[in-house]
Amino acid sequence: MTRFLKWLIISLVALSVLLFGAYKYMQSQTKKHSPEETVSHAMAGGEVEVFYNRPFKKDREVFGNLVPYGVVWRTGANEATTFSTNVDLTVEGEILAAGKYTFWTIPGETEWVFIWNAKMYPWGVNWEAEAAREAEHDVLEVTVPVENLDEAVEQFTIRISSADELILEWDRTRVRAQLGSK
């Protein structure tokens, strides 16, 4: 091998290691501001699990500003939120087959659209900072009303209640969808 070729290979390997390290550093820094959370809930003879990242309000106006109305939101921060179920479910009376989905929302002032999408995305947004969701992979959409809260919720929260309701809360907004067994 020529000397030039050896240096070229060494340089490419070093550049790859540097870029990978920079990517991991950037990922760790974003996780400090929006930590990961996994919610698990036993129901209908199976289990539901939601993985998401939890951004903070930080004195910002969230819905209608930071998260615009009428635009698809990755429903959290960083990676696309995922929703897994090992049993068929109903969501607001509509059937959701067992599987793993990315979970998206379209926030509105009076109602939200919850969207389950069959495609897995490596990150929640594209290079233009728009939701990475591809609508042709949507498997279920339900519309739910908005509840206004008296007290602000500082950190974005997804939970599943003992009454099998999928609940999202942040700032002064709560939205919920009823889950059930098929």
- Residue-wise pLDDT for 24-61, tens only, equals 655 555 555 779 999 999 987 899 999 999 999 999 99
Q: Is 107 helix (H, G, I), strand (E, B) or coil?
A: coil
Residues in the chain, total: 182
Q: Which band of pLDDT confidence, cut at 50, 70 and 90, is reported for residue 10?
A: confident
| pLDDT band per the 50, 70, 90 thresholds, residue 92 | very high
Q: For the chain, how big is the Rg over CA atoms in Å?
A: 20
Q: Give long-range contacts, CB 8 A cutoff, 24+ apart: 69-72.
A: 69/107, 69/108, 69/109, 70/106, 70/107, 70/108, 71/106, 71/107, 71/131, 72/104, 72/105, 72/106, 72/115, 72/130, 72/131, 72/133
SS (H, E, C) 135-149: HHHEEEEEEEEEEEE
- In tens, the pLDDT along 138-154 reads 999 999 999 999 999 99
d(CA 137, CA 126): 16
Q: What is the DSSP letter of 80?
A: P
**pLDDT at 115 exceeding the cut of 90:** yes
- Residue 123 φ/ψ, nearest 5 degrees: -145, 160
- CA gap 68, 107 in Å, rounded: 7
Sheet containing strand 94-96, edge to edge, reads 36-43, 46-53, 82-85, 99-106, 111-117, 138-160, 165-181, 89-91, 94-96
